[in-house]
Amino acid sequence: MRDDQAFIEVLLAPKGVVFWLVTIAVCIAAATIFLMNARHRDLIDDALRVAAREHVPDSPAEGPPQTGIFDVCREEMAELLRHKALATPERLWCYDKGYLDVFIATASSQLTATGRNALKHYISPTLVWNDVAFAFALAISVALVALGMAPWLPWKPWTDHLMLFFALMGLLYGLADVAEDWKLAAVLDKTGPVDAADANTANLLTRIKLVTICLSGIGGLAFLLLQVVAGFWRSPVFVKIAKGSALLAGISKIRLAVGAVHGKAHHRSVGRNGKFGGQGLAHECLAGF
């Protein structure tokens, strides 16, 4: 009992600079992996929307909206497909053998914008290893942030207990998410119909993942923030900024190249004429601007 109490006291003790540097590094890694994987998820979502155009009349150019987190719980599959595009199963509270069979059939028949099979693209690299790495990094981030904040919060010992709970839920989220990724990858990569027990196991892991990330508090807020950042990342405003930055960089490179050519030509001219007086030196200085 004393050993357990001593261990908890160590966890809740004030942290040093190294701890916070490691915490910041892990948080940056989690955010980077999430934004990198957002591109892969967008490619898969686009392919699923294209497939949905065939059975959703009068859908917009980008395709119908995707299935929401609770839609499969409320509607029959046939009715759902009349007005929604499929969503990847890890985003849904309810899915079963029937949904996964339809998802496999649809995704395997579509290509992403990069020319890859959408189902294969979802299995790898989206689930394994990108989402596995993100789940691991986010879980560690939640635990470190919670334990790091604990010494500075008022209302002891309640806030200590709360931060320990957040840290525990963050770690459980990581385990559930990694297990879900591996289970879904194994189920979706098989030939033939999905086994009902495998589908139910995957769905249970998804629900545990969703519940634990919400209960972790910090993890839920971090995930929402990353969704906002990813939305801005995709927005036309950011695309214009990125294009503008690329254009400015291109203009700068052209100016440097032209300046280098001009400088070489001038050096050759000066060498031939032997003009190294005051005027020649002034011209050399101004050529650099």
Cα–Cα distance for residue pair 53/86, rounded to 1 Å: 11
Determine what percent of the chain is predicted with pLDDT higher than 70: 80
pLDDT digits (tens, 9 = 90+) for 124-148: 999 999 999 999 999 999 999 999 9
Place of tokens 């919670």: 146
Q: What is the mean pLDDT of the chain?
A: 85
Cα–Cα distance for residue pair 31/33, rounded to 1 Å: 6
Mean pLDDT of 47-74: 87
CB 151 within 8 A of CB 202: no
Residue 158's Cα: distance from chain center in Å?
33
Tell me how crowded residue 194 is: count the other CB atoms within 10 A of its CB.
20
Cα–Cα distance for residue pair 71/77, rounded to 1 Å: 9
Cα–Cα distance for residue pair 114/40, rounded to 1 Å: 10
Determine what percent of the chain is predicted with pLDDT higher than 90: 65
pLDDT digits (tens, 9 = 90+) for 13-44: 999 999 999 999 999 999 999 999 999 999 99
Structure tokens at 236: 């036309």
Please name the residues in contact with 145: beta carbons below 8 A apart, sequence gap of 6 or more: 23, 27, 218
pLDDT digits (tens, 9 = 90+) for 66-103: 999 999 998 888 888 888 999 999 999 999 999 999 99
Domain boundaries, the chain: 2-234, 239-287
Tell me how crowded residue 105 is: count the other CB atoms within 10 A of its CB.
12
Mean pLDDT of 48-70: 86
Instruction: Give the predicted TM-score (pTM) of the model.
Output: 0.81
Kindly tell me if the per-residue pLDDT of 274 is higher than 70: no
